[in-house]
Amino acid sequence: MTSDIGKFHTITPQAGVVRVGGNNFLPVAGIGSVILNTALSNGPTSYLRLDNVLYVPSLHHNLFSWIVVKSKAVLLA
């Protein structure tokens, strides 16, 4: 989840809510793909595409799950 629409490579409007800490609910405004420039442990950098990232305008910090990233991320050459 991110509140930075500029991080999206593709985005589709989508209405909904997501539950965050403290049992609070935040409105979702879209869903899409984000491309991250990542530094690999052996030195080079690569690109990582995350799909189904939620656009949550009122979110104060980017949030993601390592378990989800590890199982669903696509590493681009």
Q: What sign for the dihedral angle of Cα 25, 72, 75, 70?
A: positive
Domain count, the chain: 1
More confident residue, 11 or 21: 11
**Owning domain of residue 41:** 5-76
Residue 77 has pLDDT above 60, yes or no: no
Q: For the chain, what percent of residues have pLDDT higher than 90?
A: 51
Q: Tell me what pLDDT residue 26 has.
A: 96
Terminal Cα distance for the chain, rounded: 24
More confident residue, 16 or 72: 16
DSSP class of residue 66 equals H
More confident residue, 17 or 66: 17
> pLDDT tens digits for 49-65?
888 999 999 999 888 77
